[in-house]
Structure 1
């Protein structure tokens, strides 16, 4: 739901960066891989050690690469099918690393219920993306949803960042909000696919 607004709001900032990176010889695919590596490293190294604020700052910085690679593709004038698949794959890896690391931190520090929320966020995130990909593969177009990647990043990283600043209650509250929203989004996605199929059947009786 936030994807359209977030990307349009920051395009004026990231587009010049994308053009500059192209000029120095980087490709969108390289930036995608760098961003993913940074997110994974920040999550699996810092979160399990309890460095929530540092991990949040590192991950947030590298999450921005997800916007920059798109800006580079626009500046170049084209994307590639491989780039689309690579970007989606790396997004899933990054999501898994972030919420897996949060879950590990929670379980190893006695925050079991918060860890369960993190696992729900992890699993539902993969399912939400999988449903969208499968719908696309069978030509059943669907629109936006309640909790997409932008919402996951926003709520998850706000939770860890605030917890790192000492507001420990923020992490369970925001993770459970995200977990419920994500589970609802799985249902929403399936309903969208069914509605798309029904429209397709009505258009081609």
Structure 2
């Protein structure tokens, strides 16, 4: 759903990408710094329940996910390794975000929400794995109601709203929705691959 906004994001971040390239910064360096920033922010703020500051810090570093791609295209340095690195580090950032929320609920002793957060973490990784495995077999599995960008936006909106003082219930609802949507997406992708394999 959010992929339609990619061209807008490209126009917005092109000036930043141009400046970084002139300074000699590589796209891979931006990818790595962005991932480290997301992971550190999520694992520092979220377990402590500091959702507002955690979300704001994460959003700043998440922009690097767009900037590095713009830099690679403008510099002509797009490569298979760059794409591999970007995709792999995205998984680390996502795991840190949901891992931070898992720790938040675990430290509070909320077993149900700890399990829900764990389910979202595992299912989110599985959504990506199913697609990658399908593509490795020469098929496609880019279907589903909960792609990475959609999951990321939903949870960050929820943590931001919770951070404004509206309570953890917003985050809890978002996690339940993501658990269900991620499970459905995994099933949709498995069925899509099955159709192609048997077709």
| TM-score strictly above 0.5 | yes
Q: Give the TM interval when normalised to the shorter protein.
A: over 0.9
Query: For 2:57 and 2:193, how far apart are their aligned partners in 1?
Result: 36
Bigger Cα displacement from structure 2, 189-198 vs 147-156 = 189-198
1:127-184, Cα deviation, whole Å (9 max, x unpaired): 0111111111111123342111111111111121111111122111111111110110
Query: For 1:142 and 1:167, how far apart are their aligned partners in 2?
Result: 37
| Aligned-residue CA RMSD (Å) | 1.4
Three-state SS of the structure 2 residue aligned to 1:47 is helix
Query: For 1:82 and 1:164, how far apart are their aligned partners in 2?
Result: 37
Alpha-carbon shift at residue 51 of structure 1 (Å):
1.1
Query: For 1:129 and 1:25, how far apart are their aligned partners in 2?
Result: 32
Query: For 2:29 and 2:102, how far apart are their aligned partners in 1?
Result: 29
Query: For 2:135 and 2:55, how far apart are their aligned partners in 1?
Result: 32
Aligned length, in residue pairs:
198
Residues 30 and 167 of structure 1, relative CA distance in 2, 3 Å threshold? same
What is aligned with 2:196? 196
Contact 1:159–1:175 at 8 Å: present in 2 too? no
Q: TM-score, normalised by structure 1?
A: 0.91
What is aligned with 1:203? none
Counterpart mapping for 1:34-113 below 5 A:
34-113=33-112
Contact 1:142–1:196 at 8 Å: present in 2 too? no
Q: TM-score, normalised by structure 2?
A: 0.94
What is aligned with 2:6? 7
Query: For 2:18 and 2:177, how far apart are their aligned partners in 1?
Result: 38
Contact 2:35–2:61 at 8 Å: present in 1 too? yes
Bigger Cα displacement from structure 2, 142-151 vs 54-63 = 142-151
Contact 2:13–2:67 at 8 Å: present in 1 too? yes
Query: For 1:148 and 1:164, how far apart are their aligned partners in 2?
Result: 24
Unaligned runs of 5+ in 1: 200-205
Query: For 1:111 and 1:6, how far apart are their aligned partners in 2?
Result: 37
What is aligned with 1:185? 185
